[in-house]
């Protein structure tokens, strides 16, 4: 047997690492020796193999065989100096794993091949290909020079995937990703490239494609992936949004392309969920504005919440104009941006985690205000909004209790509104906290009730005091054709009553609606008809007028 097999060096290298497998082949006899680790891991017949190239080829994933054969042929023929490629190889369990295979040929003085030696490294997770989906890894993007190519890049993101993971667990989430990526690859043209860009985002590079082609492609993706079928007939509904950029027209550098893709996807998710959106100047401006907002907001928070203010919108007792309390609504004016609405700036505060600080400020102002009004106007029921993120803070409960004690407020008059449409991951924990707060006397309201499909689910696990019925059912109640809204509200209110909840109907914009809802079994009303949210002094004017009339 050849000396090349029986030396200490081979043994030493063979034992070097768990993830590295070495081999050496005597090319004059076509006998090779494989390290013990490789025999075990890949389930080879023995350490010594004849005609190893063919034996090994049987372990290679059929889709990767061409890559391997081409490379090895080039090395053996002398066209290439070193063998170097990545492919999937079958292990002893019959599973394919990614390996990087490197090797070189040693030749005699007449250039005849003598020895072929090399090593294989398992590179699961850090390969050219994504180990879960088998798609190209995003690191492979660096091979493309978008200034010399033309086409359309599409960044596809699954909507609300965090919730899918929360609901079904990581295993199922992985299966969904695999199935989804298989579909998006299957539906694209063979010349296009598909990458796993990040967790639940996929990048498709549609070379030489027209806009119409890309629109049709995404439409098909949407149609064919809206329900993912897993084993045991388990079906899960998903939705995807996409951002799209033309290259080189809108981006000729990779970083610019990726930036614009991300902005476009973000825009799609926030404004046109479930759709494909092409990058535009509007998107660029929106992004620019959100950056400025973010900086301005941070600056204001640093300057002791300069520019933030609470507005107050009355709660009215049905059948009267009597004000019994108010919802505190946050307003903000930045140094550069002065026209931002709560929906816009609160989303940014939430996206960057700043809502926790600002929320604490809101809480303190609301509680302080309730106490400040007490002497003049009696105990008003004062509510403020709390984002789900704030509840997740370990300190939320302690802060609330400490703040209530500091100002000596009666918790019975403090209502905490939880926006119902938020994605609650852990309702049991939230429920336990609500129970503790309610025991202390605080009131909890489930906000925007009826907007999300999970409304009733939430109600089943959370004990609350108030249900706030969302505007959209209420606003057009008096218009013809809205009988269904009437039936919904009437039934929701009936349900609240039977379950022992107080109710607040929001969005009462005119007398007609006030009269219709006033006839129903509702605890409190709120809406522009009574007053828009107003600053403190205007709200006090309303309270004074109310006092005079009663
Ligand atoms: P929300 O909690 O549903 O608040 C009610 C929104 O409806 C307010 O919008 C209010 O101005 C508006 N509204 C009241 N009556 C009517 C009406 O009759 N018709 C119509 N069309 N709208 C009416 P606003 O002040 O723009 O606040 C928007 C959202 O921002 C709030 O929705 C709430 O989710 C959030 N928000 C406001 N302040 C805070 C805060 O301090 N913290 C947190 N986390 N969120 C807040
Ligand atoms: Ca609210």
Burial 283-308 (b: 16+ CB within 10 A, else e): bbebbeebeebbebbeebbeeebebb
Q: What span, in angstroms and rounded, lies between the C-alpha atoms of 174 and 196?
A: 13
363-374 per-position pLDDT tens digit: 999 999 999 999
Between 222 and 95, the more confident residue is 222
Contacts of 70 (CB under 8 A, 6+ apart): none
Nearest one of 343, 384, 379, 341 to 362, comparing CA atoms: 384
Indicate whether 125 pLDDT > 70: no
Residues 211, 152 contacting (CB under 8 angstroms): yes
Q: What is the pLDDT of residue 249?
A: 94
The tokens for 365 are 């102002």
CA 405 to chain centre: 38
pLDDT of residue 539 exceeding 90, the answer is yes
Average pLDDT over residues 166-180: 89
Q: Which of 12, 37, 15, 33 lies closest to 24 in space, CA to CA?
A: 33
Alpha-carbon distance of 216 to 214, in angstroms, equals 5
Q: How far is the CA of 384 from the centre of ligand 2 (A)?
A: 7
Q: Which two tokens stand for residue 267?
A: 């825009």
pLDDT of residue 2: 59
CA distance 166 to 481: 39
List the CATH code of the domain at 136-279: 3.30.70.270
Which of the listed residues 309, 329, 369 should we mutate to test ligand 1's pocket, taking the one with most ligand atoms within 8 A of CB? 329
216 C-beta neighbours (distance < 10 Å), count = 13
Tell me the per-residue pLDDT of 313-363, one tens digit each, with 9 for 90 and over. Answer: 999 999 888 999 999 999 999 999 999 999 999 999 998 899 999 999 999
**What's phi and psi for 518, nearest 5 deg?**
-60, -25
Decide which of 352 and 402 is more confident: 402
d(CA 197, CA 139): 9
> Which tokens hold the place of 42?
């890949």
Poorest-confidence range of 41-45, 235-239, 377-381? 41-45
Residue 279 φ then ψ, to 5°:
-55, 140
In CATH terms, the fold of domain 8-122 is: Beta-Lactamase (3.30.450)
Can the peptide bond before residue 418 be classed as cis, meaning omega within 30 degrees of 0? no
37: confidence class by pLDDT, cuts 50, 70, 90: confident
Please write the tens of the pLDDT for every residue from 256-304.
999 999 999 999 998 999 999 999 999 999 999 999 999 999 999 999 9
Q: Are strands 201-207 and 151-158 parallel, antiparallel or unpaired?
A: antiparallel
- Give all strands of the β-sheet with 193-198 in edge-to-edge order: 136-137, 193-198, 201-207, 151-158, 240-247, 276-278
Q: Where are the domains of the chain?
A: 8-122, 136-279, 305-468+524-549
Instruction: For residues 232 and 223, give the distance between their C-alpha atoms in angstroms, rounded to a whole number.
Output: 22
CA-CA-CA-CA torsion for 306, 420, 424, 499, nearest 10 degrees? 130
Q: Which atom belonging to ligand 1 lies closest to the Cα atom of 526? A: 15
Torsions phi, psi of 461, nearest 5?
A: -105, -10
- Among all ligands shown, which has an atom nearest to the Cα of 328? 1
pLDDT digits (tens, 9 = 90+) for 465-490: 999 998 887 877 877 777 788 888 89
Q: How far is 299 from 12, CA to CA, in rounded Å?
A: 60
Q: To the nearest whole percent, how much of the chain has pLDDT over 70?
A: 96
Neighbours of ion ligand 2 (CB under 5 A): 385, 417, 447
Q: 158 C-alpha to center of ligand 2: Å?
A: 28
Q: Give bridge partners of residue 327 from the DSSP assignment.
A: 313, 383
Residues with CB under 6 A from ligand 1: 313, 329-330, 341-343, 346, 355, 359, 362, 384-387, 419, 447-448, 471, 475, 506-509, 526-528, 533
Q: Say which CATH architecture domain 305-468+524-549 belongs to.
A: Alpha-Beta Barrel (3.20)
pLDDT digits (tens, 9 = 90+) for 408-455: 999 999 999 997 556 677 788 899 999 999 999 999 999 988 765 556
CA dist., res. 170 & res. 176, Å (int)? 10
Q: Which two tokens stand for residue 450?
A: 């009826």
Q: What per-residue confidence (pLDDT) applies to 262?
A: 95
Q: Which ligand is nearest to the CA of 342?
A: 1
- Under 8 Å between Cβ of 328 and 314: no
């Amino acid at each position: 047997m050849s000396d090349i097999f029986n030396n200490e060096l081979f043994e030493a290298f063979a034992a070097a690492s768990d993830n590295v497998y070495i081999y050496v082949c005597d090319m004059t006899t076509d006998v090779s020796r494989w390290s013990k680790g490789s025999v075990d891991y890949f389930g080879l017949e023995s350490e010594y193999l004849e005609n190893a190239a063919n034996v090994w080829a049987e372990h290679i994933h059929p889709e990767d065989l061409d890559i391997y054969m081409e490379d090895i042929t080039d090395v053996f023929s002398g066209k290439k100096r070193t063998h170097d490629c990545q492919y999937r190889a079958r292990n002893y369990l019959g599973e394919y794993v990614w390996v990087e295979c490197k090797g070189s040929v040693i030749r005699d003085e007449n250039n005849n091949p003598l020895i072929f030696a090399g090593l294989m490294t398992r590179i699961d997770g850090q390969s050219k290909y994504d180990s879960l989906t088998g798609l190209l890894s995003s690191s492979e993007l660096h091979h493309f020079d978008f200034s010399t190519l033309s086409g359309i890049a599409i960044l596809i993101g699954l909507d609300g995937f965090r919730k899918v993971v929360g609901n079904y667990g990581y295993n199922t989430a992985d299966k969904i990703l695999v199935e989804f990526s298989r579909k998006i690859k299957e539906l694209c043209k063979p010349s296009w490239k598909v990458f796993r860009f990040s967790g639940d985002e996929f990048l498709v590079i549609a070379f030489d494609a027209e806009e119409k082609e890309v629109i049709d492609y995404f439409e098909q993706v949407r149609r064919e992936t809206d329900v993912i079928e897993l084993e045991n007939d388990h079906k899960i509904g998903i939705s995807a949004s996409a951002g799209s950029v033309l290259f080189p027209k809108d981006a000729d550098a990779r970083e610019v392309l990726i930036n614009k893709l991300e902005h476009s996807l973000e825009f799609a998710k926030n404004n046109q969920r479930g759709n494909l959106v092409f990058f535009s100047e509007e998107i660029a401006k929106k992004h620019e504005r959100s950056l400025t907002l973010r900086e301005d907001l941070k600056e204001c928070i640093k300057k002791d919440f300069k520019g933030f203010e609470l507005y107050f919108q009355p709660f009215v007792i049905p059948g009267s104009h009597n004000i019994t309390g108010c919802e505190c609504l946050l307003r903000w004016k930045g140094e550069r941006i002065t026209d931002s609405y709560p929906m816009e700036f609160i989303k940014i505060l939430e996206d960057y985690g700043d809502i926790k600080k600002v929320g604490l400020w809101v809480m303190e102002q609301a509680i302080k205000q309730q106490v400040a009004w007490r002497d003049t106007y009696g105990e008003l029921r004062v509510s403020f909004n709390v984002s789900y993120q704030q509840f997740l803070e370990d300190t939320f409960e302690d802060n609330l209790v400490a703040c209530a004690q500091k100002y000596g407020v009666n918790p019975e008059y403090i209502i905490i509104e939880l926006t119902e449409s938020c994605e609650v991951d852990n309702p049991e924990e939230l429920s336990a906290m609500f129970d503790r707060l309610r025991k202390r006397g605080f009131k909890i309201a489930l906000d925007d009730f009826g907007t999300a499909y999970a409304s009733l689910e939430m109600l089943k696990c959370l004990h609350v005091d108030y249900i706030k019925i969302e505007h959209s059912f209420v606003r057009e109640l008096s218009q013809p054709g809205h009988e269904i809204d009437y039936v919904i509200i009437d039934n929701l209110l009936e349900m609240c009553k039977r379950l022992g909840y107080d109710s607040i109907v929001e969005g009462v914009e005119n007398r007609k609606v006030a009269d219709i809802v006033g006839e129903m079994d509702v605890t409190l009303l709120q809406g522009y008809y009574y007053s828009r949210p107003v600053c403190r002094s205007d709200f006090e004017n309303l309270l004074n007028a109310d006092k005079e009339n009663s």
